[in-house]
Structure 1
Amino acid sequence: MQLIDYFKILEKNKSIFSSNRDFVSDKINALQNIWEIGNPSLIPNLFPYLKSDSKEIREFTFFIIDDFFNKLDKKNHLYETLRYCEVKIADFKFFKNNFSVKDYFTLIQIASQNRNGYIREFAVEELSNSENSDAIKFIIFRLSDWVEIIRNKAVQALVNFKKIEYLNCLVENLYLFEWIIKTKRANLTIVYENIFQFILEEENYLLDNIKNFSEKNRIILARKVYNSKNENDRFFKEFLNDKNYLVRIFALKKFDILNKIEIENLLKDKSSKIRLQTLFEIDKRKNLTSEIALNFVADESAAIRDLARKNLRNVDFAEIYADNIKNNKNLKGSIFGLSEVQGKKYVNYIFPFLTCEKTYLVKIAFLSIEKLEPQIAFDFAYENFENKNIFLRNFFVKYFVKHYTEDVLEKARYIYKTGDYEARKSMLRLFSSIGKYITISDLMIGLIDENPALRDLSVNYIENWKLKANSYFIEPDPALLKKSKEIHEIVCEILKEKKYFYRNPLENLDFYFK
C-alpha cells in the first residue's frame, strides 16, 4: 500500500457494523505505516487527526508529528514544511486541555510557522508567555515576519527572555540572528545589538561558560566581543585556548597583551593561518629576527615560507631544503620550498619520493618536479597513468586535463578499453574534463559500456557537455566533427538494439555535429 491509501483509512468514518476497537486499531495501523515510510512533509496532512475523538489516535498522531518535527532542518525548511497546517485559534484550547504542557508547546512552535498571520500572532504570544528557552529560536524567526504587528510582538517577546537563566539559549541562537541578517529578510541590527549588549553585560557568566557554547557561536562571540571594543583581556585569553582557529585568531587582535610563552605557542599552532598571522604581528613590530625566520623557511604553508625567506639575507635556501630532504626533515615544506627557489640542481633529492608508499609525498614530489623539470614530470605521469592507487590515478587525470597530448588521449582510450571499473571511471572523468569536440566521441562510447553505472555516468557527462557546447566559440576541426558523426551513428544503432535507456541520451546531439 502507498501513503495515500493509509491516509484514506484515516479519513474513513466509523461504520455502524464495525466495533470501536477495530475502528481505532485500523487507524493506529495506518498511522504506524505512515510513520515508518513517511517524512516531515506529511506534518500538515497529519494535523487534523490531533483533534480525533480517540485519545489513542490523538497521542500517536502527535508522537509522529513530534518525531518528524525533530527531523526538520530548524533553519531552512521550517516555514515551507509547516505553513499549510490547517488549524484555528479555537483549536488551541482543545490542544491545551488534551495534551501535556510539553506537547502543547511543540504545537505552538509549529503554529508559529503557519501561513495564517492570526495563527502566527497567537503563537508568538504563547511562546512569549511560555518561559521555555526553546521558544527563543521561534521568536527570532518571527522578527523577520512580513506582518509588522507580529514583528513588534516578537521584539517584545524577546524582552521576556532577557534574563540570566536564558543567557545560554540566547548565545546559542546568535547564529540565527546572523543568518536572517545575511539573507536580508529583515533589518535586525538594532534588536541584535540590544540582545548582544545584554549578553555582554554578563561578562563573568560568559567567561565561565564560553567553552560550553557551540563552535559557530563561539566564533560569533569572538568577533562580536572584538568589534565591541571590549577591554576585558580575559576574553582574549579565553580565545587563545579555543579549539577552533577561527576563535584563536581573535586573540591575535590583542597581540600586545600576550606573553612570550603564549606567542611561542602560537608560532607552533597547528593552524597555518594562526602561525602566519603571529609572524605578521611579530614582523609588524620589527621583531622578526633571523633566528625566528629560519625556523619557518620549511613550514608547510607556502605563505609562511615566503614571509620567512623575505626576512632573511644571504641564505642559500636551496641548500637548506636539500639538506632537510636528505635527512627526512620537514619534507612537505622542504620539497615544495626547493621548487619555489628554483633549486634545480638538487632535484635528484626529490626523485625517490615519486615511488614512496605515502601518497601525499608522491603528490608533493610530483608537483615540485613539475616546476623544476616539467618533461620528467610529464613522463612520470604518463608511465603511471593507470596506477593501481586510485588517488594517484585521479591525481594524474587532473594533471592531464591541462597537459594532454594525442599520445595521452590514445593511452587513456586504451586504459578505458582494457581497464577495470575504477580505471574506466577515471578515464571518463578525464574525457569529460577535457571536453570540447576532442573527447565527445569517447563519452558517447561510454553509453554502451557493459557497466550500467558507467553508462549513467556517461549520460551525465554528455548532458554537461551540451550545456557547455554553446560556449565553444572556436570552430571544431572537421576531422573531429566527422569522427563524432560516425561514433554517434554507431552508438545510436547499438543503443537501439540493446535498449539500455528508456530514452536515447544521444537524441538531438547530432545537432552539434552539423
Structure 2
Amino acid sequence: MGGGEISFLREGNREKEGGDLMMEYLDKYSAHQTLIQPLKMFGFPKVKDKLAALLWLSKDIDLKDIEYVFPLIFIKNTTLALTAAQIAAGIMSRIGAKDWRRIYDQVKYTRIDEKSLVSLLEFETDISIHMLGIASLNSNGYVREKALKLISGVKSPSAVPYTLLRLNDWVVSVRNLAEHILKNIFIPDNIDLFINHFELINKLQDSVRVDLNRIKTLVEDFLKDDSFKDIVKRKLKHPQVKTRLFCYQLLKDRIVNDETIIISALQDKSFEVRMWLVGAIKTLEPQAQESIIEKLLQDKSAKVKTAVLRKHEDFVCQNFRGILEMLLIDESASVRDDARFILKKHSIVTDIPQFYRHQILKNSLPGAIAGLGETGGQRDFDIVCGFKTNEEPKIRLASLIAMWQLSKVDTVGFVLDALNSDLPKIKKTAKRLCKRTRMPDILSAMKENLKSEDLNTRILALQIIYGYGGWQALQAILYAISREQEPVLSEARNLLNKWLPKSTSLYSKPDRATEKEIINFYETICLKGLISENVLKELQFVLVTRR
C-alpha cells in the first residue's frame, strides 16, 4: 500500500492477518473513506480492508454511518455484502422509539439503485426487511415505492415501523401502497411491534400533508380487538410508562366490565397513569366512580389530586366534603389552592383563614401553616412565626414560607439566616426567595457575602445580585472576576457574558461611587488579562457609550 493511500490509518496491535499488520482507524471519517473508495486488486483498499473498516466502525456505529455501509451490500463479494447487511440491520433493529421520528433525515441520502433492490431478498428475512426498510426511507420516491412493494411480499413484524412511516409520504402512490400493506399486516404476530411503535401511531394524528386520523383509528381498532385483549393487558406491566399509557388508552372502553384494569392503574408507580384514570372513569356510572375517586383524592401525587378536583368537582362536593376540607391542609400548594376555590365556590367553608387558625390550634400540620400564610393577614404573622424553630423540618419550612408571604419586611432577616441552614430544603427555599425578591436588605447582605471567605457563599451572593440587573450587577461581577478565585471566577465570567447583551436596555447612568469602582475593577481585569479580548472590547464599548 502506498504511503498516501493509508495516511488516515495507524498501526494497531501487532497481530498478523495474512501477513499484514492490522490497522486501526483514527476516526469515523477515516473508516468512511475506506468504505467509499472502490475496491482495488492491487493497492488499497482490498476486501479485507473494507471488512476491517466495517468491523472497526461497528463498535460505535449509528444511523449516520448507514450511507457509507449500505452501498457495500450490493458488492459481489458475498462476505463483504453480508457483513455490511448484518451491521446495517443491527443498527435498525436497535433504534429507539424517539429516533424513529427523525430517522428519515439521517438516511435519506444513502445511494441506492432502484433496480438492485430485488437482490436484497437474497438475505435472511430479518436482514432483508431492514435493508428494504432503509430503502423505503430514501429521498428518491421511486426507490421508496419499489422498496415498499418488495416489503409487501415479506412476512416479518419488522415491516411495521417502515409501513407506518410511509403512510405520510409525499407521493400519493407510496401512501396508498403503505395503507394497503398496513391492512395486510394486521395479524396477531405483529401486535407487539405495533404497540412498541405507538409513537409512530400517535404521530399520524399530527400529519399536515394529509389527514391520517382515519388510519390511526383503523390501527387502534385492530389493536382493540377482543382477541388481543390479554396481550394488551400484559403490556400494562411494560417498563416504559408511555407504552403503558398507550395500552391503557386502548383498554379504556373495557374498564366498565373489567375492574382489573382500574386496579392496575391505581397501583401503577407512575402518576401519569393515574392521571389517565382520572379522565377515563368519567364513562363509569357514579356509583362505580365513588370508590375510585376516593382513592385518587388520597393519592400521593399532587397532580393527581388536582386533576380529580378539576375534573370531578361536583361529584367531590356532593360525596367527599370531609376529604375536600382535609385537602385544604395538603402539603401541596396547588392542591390547597384548588380545594379553597371549590369550597368557597360552593360556600362549604366561607372563612378560609379562620379554618386554618382553627386547624393550627388543633394540629399544627405544615399544610395548615402554609395555608394560613397564603390566605391570612398581618395579624397572623405571629401565629406562623411561632413555628420557625420547630423540631419538625417540614413545619419549620412551612413557617418560613408563610412568614414570607405575610410580611417580607419582617421575614427578610430569617430568610438570610436560613441561607446557612443545615437543612437542604430550607436552605434551597431561602435561596429561591432571595433570588425572586428584590429588597434593599437582601442586596446589602449579598454585597457583604460577596466578600466572604466561603466560595459557595460568594457564588450565591453573586447570582442573587446579578438578578437585580443594571450597574450594580456589573459591579459585583467585575469585583468577583478581579479577585481571581475559582470557581467564583468562572461563574462571574458566565454572568458577564449574560449581562453584556442585556446592557442595551440600560438607560440610566451609574452613580459616581459605582462608576468609580467599575472602572477600577475593569482596569485591574485588563491589566491581568482575566477575560478574553472579545469580551473586553464589548465591555469597553458599554462603559464608553452607556456612562
TM-score range (shorter-chain normalised) is: 0.7 to 0.9
SS at match of 2:318: coil
- Would the aligned equivalents of 2:373 and 2:384 in 1 still touch at CA under 8 Å? no
Task: Name 2:21's counterpart in structure 1.
Answer: none
Q: How far off its partner does 1:78 sit?
A: 0.5
Task: Name 2:178's counterpart in structure 1.
Answer: 154
Given residue 252 of structure 1, which amino acid in structure 2 is its aligned partner?
A: I
Given residue 215 of structure 1, which amino acid in structure 2 is its aligned partner?
A: V
Task: Name 1:262's counterpart in structure 2.
Answer: 292
Q: Could you tell me which of 290, 296, 302 is aligned with 1:272?
A: 302
Q: Check if 1:299 corresponds to 2:327.
A: no
- Would the aligned equivalents of 2:309 and 2:316 in 1 still touch at CA under 8 Å? no
Task: Name 1:287's counterpart in structure 2.
Answer: 318
CA distance in 2, matches of 1:381, 1:247: 40
- Would the aligned equivalents of 1:393 and 1:426 in 2 still touch at CA under 8 Å? no
- Would the aligned equivalents of 2:316 and 2:324 in 1 still touch at CA under 8 Å? no
Q: 1:342 to 1:487 in 2, by over 3 A?
A: same
CA distance in 2, matches of 1:39, 1:442: 47
Task: Name 2:349's counterpart in structure 1.
Answer: 312
Task: Name 2:13's counterpart in structure 1.
Answer: none
Q: How far off its partner does 1:378 sit?
A: 0.8
- Would the aligned equivalents of 1:79 and 1:114 in 2 still touch at CA under 8 Å? yes
Task: Name 1:215's counterpart in structure 2.
Answer: 241
TM-score by length of 1: 0.81
Q: 1:90 to 1:392 in 2, by over 3 A?
A: farther
Provide the alpha-carbon RMSD of the alignment. Answer: 3.7
Task: Name 2:23's counterpart in structure 1.
Answer: none
Q: How far off its partner does 1:409 sit?
A: 3.2
Given residue 401 of structure 1, which amino acid in structure 2 is its aligned partner?
A: K
- Would the aligned equivalents of 1:322 and 1:334 in 2 still touch at CA under 8 Å? yes
Q: How does 1:7-22 map to 2 (within 5 A)?
A: 7-10=32-35, 11=37, 13-14=39-40, 16=42
CA distance in 1, matches of 2:90, 2:515: 57
- Would the aligned equivalents of 2:34 and 2:49 in 1 still touch at CA under 8 Å? yes
- Would the aligned equivalents of 1:324 and 1:334 in 2 still touch at CA under 8 Å? no
Q: Check if 1:374 corresponds to 2:408.
A: yes
- Would the aligned equivalents of 2:223 and 2:250 in 1 still touch at CA under 8 Å? no
Q: Could you tell me which of 126, 140, 143 is aligned with 1:116?
A: 140
Task: Name 1:42's counterpart in structure 2.
Answer: 65
Q: Could you tell me which of 357, 366, 378 is aligned with 1:332?
A: 366
Q: Check if 1:434 corresponds to 2:468.
A: yes
- Would the aligned equivalents of 2:126 and 2:158 in 1 still touch at CA under 8 Å? no
- Would the aligned equivalents of 1:293 and 1:311 in 2 still touch at CA under 8 Å? no
Q: 1:7 to 1:351 in 2, by over 3 A?
A: same
Q: How far off its partner does 1:87 sit?
A: 1.5
CA distance in 1, matches of 2:176, 2:308: 46
Q: Could you tell me which of 334, 359, 368 is aligned with 1:321?
A: 359
Task: Name 1:234's counterpart in structure 2.
Answer: 257
SS at match of 2:537: coil
What's the CA shift string for 1:443-502, capped at 9, x where partnerless?
Answer: 3445566466654544443333334344x365344545565454334323322xx5x65x
Q: 1:290 to 1:408 in 2, by over 3 A?
A: closer
Given residue 298 of structure 1, which amino acid in structure 2 is its aligned partner?
A: I
SS at match of 2:112: coil
Task: Name 2:279's counterpart in structure 1.
Answer: 250
Of stretches 149-158 and 340-349 in structure 1, the one that deviates more from structure 2 is: 340-349
What's the CA shift string for 1:7-49, capped at 9, x where partnerless?
Answer: 344437445479xxx9555444433443445543222122233
What's the CA shift string for 1:84-109, capped at 9, x where partnerless?
Answer: 11111233344332x32212222122
Q: Could you tell me which of 18, 29, 39 is aligned with 1:4?
A: 29
- Would the aligned equivalents of 2:367 and 2:398 in 1 still touch at CA under 8 Å? no
Q: Check if 1:400 corresponds to 2:434.
A: yes
Q: How does 1:156-235 map to 2 (within 5 A)?
A: 156-182=180-206, 184=208, 186-200=210-224, 202-203=225-226, 205-206=228-229, 209-210=232-233, 212-213=235-236, 215-220=241-246, 233-234=256-257
Task: Name 1:512's counterpart in structure 2.
Answer: 542
- Would the aligned equivalents of 2:479 and 2:521 in 1 still touch at CA under 8 Å? yes
- Would the aligned equivalents of 1:9 and 1:30 in 2 still touch at CA under 8 Å? yes
Percent sequence identity over aligned pairs? 18
What's the CA shift string for 1:299-338, capped at 9, x where partnerless?
Answer: 2322344134652357841333313554xxxx33222122
Q: How far off its partner does 1:414 sit?
A: 4.0
The total of aligned residue pairs comes to 497
Q: 1:28 to 1:353 in 2, by over 3 A?
A: farther
Given residue 90 of structure 1, which amino acid in structure 2 is its aligned partner?
A: K
- Would the aligned equivalents of 2:125 and 2:156 in 1 still touch at CA under 8 Å? no
TM-score by length of 2: 0.77
Q: How far off its partner does 1:178 sit?
A: 2.7
CA distance in 2, matches of 1:17, 1:506: 55
Q: Could you tell me which of 88, 91, 99 is aligned with 1:74?
A: 99
CA distance in 2, matches of 1:25, 1:407: 74
Q: 1:17 to 1:40 in 2, by over 3 A?
A: closer
Q: How far off its partner does 1:284 sit?
A: 4.3
- Would the aligned equivalents of 1:85 and 1:114 in 2 still touch at CA under 8 Å? yes
| Structure 1 gap ranges (5+) | none
